[in-house]
Amino acid sequence: MRPANPTMPGTFQVDLRGLVALLSRHLYRSPDVYIRELLQNAVDAVAARRRFEPGVAGAVEIDVVEPGDGPPEVIVTDNGIGLTGTELVELLATIGRSSKRGELSRHRDYIGQFGIGLLACFLVADEITVVTRSAKDPDARALRWQGRADGTYDITPVESDLPAGTRVHLRARPGSEHRLSRGHVLRLTHRYGGLLPLPVRLGSTRVNDEPPPWELPALTQEQERENALSYARRVLDLDPLDAIPLHADGVRGLAFVLPYEPSPAARQDHRVYLRRMLLSESADRLLPDWAFFVRCVIDADDLRPNAARDGFVEDARLDAVREQLGRCIRDHLTDLARLWPSRLAGVVAMHHAGISALAVHDEQCLLLFADWLPVDTSLGRMTLGEHARRFGELRFVRRCDDFRRVAPIAAAQGRCVVNGGPANVSTLLDRLALLRPERKIVELDPTEVVDSFTDLSVAEQAEVADLVRLAESALWRHGVGVQVRAFAPTQMHATLVAPEGCRSRRQLGRAQSIVDGPVALGPASHLCLNFANAAVRELARQARQGRIMRVRRAVELLYVQALLLGHHPLRDREFSLLDEVVLDFVEDRG
């Protein structure tokens, strides 16, 4: 029989150096977070003291000692709750133990919760010295706790006149001197603690004397907006198109409409504060995807920070806040449409590509922005709203090639045709047609425009018969048929048409397959010469006079011109044709 294994109980041992290396490489973006963790502990300590001494005026003081012949030292002092000897062992010297955790669900007062923040100090110093006196016991002695990066610590009572509270000393380790220099500490304190609600001083300088931008006094809405815009210029180095006040449960802030076009797929770099302590300047996923064109600054009371403290934990609370912030932005834009249409037009003009891409999937986004989206039409660029006001019914062609071909003709006839070719436009128009049937959005068959061409009378047909014959024989090798009809604009010599919509061809009963478009352009396309154009009539006259070579060359030239006007790619044979025509011209043949 095998003997049972003897039980060997034990406790985990922590290799502090390994843990600190892990934090610095994988959790924190920069060793600079040590200031954030010290500030946060000081603010939390004041909050803890206020729980049993309400109204105590909290303050945080930072000193930087730069001896010149040695490494700089940073000292952070608070008049918070302080620590007893037992707490020093249980809380400071026990990794992962926090006094704030269980209470967090009951109290929104604390920023910390993981019990690892103090370790960030080992990113810049080999030793952390904490001198503390507990506020809970008036007779408590001051104690010094010295923790070292090798995982050892000692606690000694000290004779100190320190009132209740805590003072943390850090001396820069070789290589980190710059991070503990006065200028750097001032910048970091300003960045992380600039909005903290209790006074923070560096030496005699008050670091946080400005209220958050959403709390700046303002008599009117316009003044409020101006305050917000000037904050963005000063602090974010951004000149936004507009500022949007944000309110959600336990969250307040501002959203700024970006003055440049970001990619909808790009990270949203939001500036987020947790109980007025800067958490991150590059938080993502705080707003719905469609709001990619704004960048926001918010302060949250009870969203849960992730351990790296560069964003919030994805949970139901964050979902709800995201939804509410999205609603604020939507409502604001709807108000703009009513009260400041020119501002909304500016926003959409800047961000329409991204907005269109999103509106394809997001119905609300489509309905919100549809009227402000610009489209190209045969009568120039205009918004869909403007189009609806001017023309009522909207007719569009699906492809850019069709648009290029019909636009000049439609324009000359005063008809407004929308180009559905650019990315997303025709999909958006299809969706809008379903969502808002009263808008009467219909696809236009490009050949309809051609159908409005006027057929020639019998006499006129006789007049152009020689031209048609010569032109057909000239273009035969290109697989292109010829017809002559009259259409506007009169300056246009010719256009390429598919025979499908060509009544005269149908009337002539010629069997032609229907081929159209740049790649497929082939044997079934027709060059439609414009009888309303003076040069074409002159060509008909010269054809009657038998000037065969000249007419053939001119027709070939008009064919290439029609290809170019329709933005059809030229093939080798059309290039050589062009070459021949130019050579003829240069050598004065024909």
Ligand X SMILES: Nc1ncnc2c1ncn2[C@@H]1O[C@H](COP(=O)(O)OP(=O)(O)OP(=O)(O)O)[C@@H](O)[C@H]1O
Q: Which is nearer to ligand X, 99 or 356 (CB)?
A: 99
Q: Are 482 and 493 in contact (CB under 8 A)?
A: no
Stretch that binds ligand X, among 73-81, 175-183, 190-198, 457-465 (CB under 6 A): 73-81
Q: Which is nearer to ligand X, 36 or 398 (CB)?
A: 36
Q: Where are the beta strands (DSSP E) in 434-590?
A: 441-443, 481-485, 494-497, 526-530
Handedness of CA 347, 351, 354, 360 (dihedral sign): positive
Q: Which is nearer to ligand X, 131 or 432 (CB)?
A: 131
Minimum CB–partner distance for residue 419 and ligand X (Å): 55
Q: Which is nearer to ligand X, 42 or 74 (CB)?
A: 42
- One-character DSSP codes across 41-110: HHHHHHHHHHHHSTT----EEEEEE--SSS--EEEEEE-S----HHHIIIIISSTT--SSHHHHTT-S--
How many angstroms separate the CA atoms of 355 and 51, rounded?
48
166 in a known ligand binding site: yes
Q: Token digits for 92? A: 């400071």
How many Cα atoms sit within 13 Å of 313 on the Cβ side?
9
Q: Which is nearer to ligand X, 41 or 525 (CB)?
A: 41
Other beta carbons within 10 Å of 432 = 20
How many angstroms separate the CA atoms of 277 and 208, rounded?
11
Q: Report CA dihedral (330, 331, 337, 339) to the nearest 10 degrees.
A: -150
- Under rule CB under 6 A, which residues in 159-178 are in contact with ligand X? 166
Stretch that binds ligand X, among 7-15, 35-43, 372-380, 580-588 (CB under 6 A): 35-43
Minimum CB–partner distance for residue 25 and ligand X (Å): 17
Minimum CB–partner distance for residue 187 and ligand X (Å): 21
Residue 78 interacts with ligand X (CB under 6 A)? yes
In angstroms, what CA-CA distances link 553 with 135, 465, 481, 521, 585?
A: 102, 17, 16, 21, 10
- Phi and psi at 255, nearest 5°, equal -115, 140
Residue in 36, 26, 184 with CA at minimum distance from that of residue 120: 36
Q: Which is nearer to ligand X, 288 or 311 (CB)?
A: 311
Minimum CB–partner distance for residue 57 and ligand X (Å): 16
Minimum CB–partner distance for residue 202 and ligand X (Å): 17
- Phi and psi at 457, nearest 5°, equal -70, 170
Minimum CB–partner distance for residue 131 and ligand X (Å): 10
Q: Are 322 and 287 in contact (CB under 8 A)?
A: yes
Q: Token digits for 459? A: 């006499």
Residues in CB range of 246: below 8 A, 6 or more apart = 214, 252, 253, 254, 255, 296, 298, 325, 328, 329
Stretch that binds ligand X, among 33-41, 156-164, 436-444, 461-469 (CB under 6 A): 33-41
Residue in the block written with tokens 């803890």: 48
Q: Are 254 and 245 in contact (CB under 8 A)?
A: yes
Residue 24 interacts with ligand X (CB under 6 A)? no
- One-letter amino acid for residue 460 of the chain: E
41 in a known ligand binding site: yes
Minimum CB–partner distance for residue 281 and ligand X (Å): 19
Site string for ligand X, 80-119 (x = CB under 6 A): xxxx-------xx-----xxx-----------xxxxxxx-
Minimum CB–partner distance for residue 269 and ligand X (Å): 23
- Under rule CB under 6 A, which residues in 366-405 are in contact with ligand X? none
- Site for ligand X (CB under 6 A): which residue of 42, 125, 128, 498? 42
Other beta carbons within 10 Å of 448 = 15
Q: Which is nearer to ligand X, 59 or 486 (CB)?
A: 59
Specify the pairing of strand 165-172 against strand 73-78: antiparallel
Stretch that binds ligand X, among 36-44, 189-197, 320-328, 399-407 (CB under 6 A): 36-44
Q: Which is nearer to ligand X, 23 or 325 (CB)?
A: 23
Residue in 199, 220, 221 with CA at minimum distance from that of residue 210: 199
Q: Token digits for 133? A: 């006196």
Q: Which is nearer to ligand X, 48 or 467 (CB)?
A: 48
How many angstroms separate the CA atoms of 348 and 371, rounded?
10
- Site for ligand X (CB under 6 A): which residue of 16, 20, 35, 45? 45
Minimum CB–partner distance for residue 279 and ligand X (Å): 11
Minimum CB–partner distance for residue 232 and ligand X (Å): 30
Q: Which is nearer to ligand X, 98 or 426 (CB)?
A: 98
How many residues of this chain interact with ligand X, rule: CB under 6 A?
A: 23
Minimum CB–partner distance for residue 318 and ligand X (Å): 18
- Under rule CB under 6 A, which residues in 114-143 are in contact with ligand X? 114-118
Q: Which is nearer to ligand X, 120 or 529 (CB)?
A: 120
463 in a known ligand binding site: no
Binding residues for ATP are: 37, 41, 78, 166
Binding site for ligand X (CB under 6 A): 37, 40-42, 45, 78, 80-83, 91-92, 98-100, 112-118, 166
Binding residues are: 37, 41, 78, 166
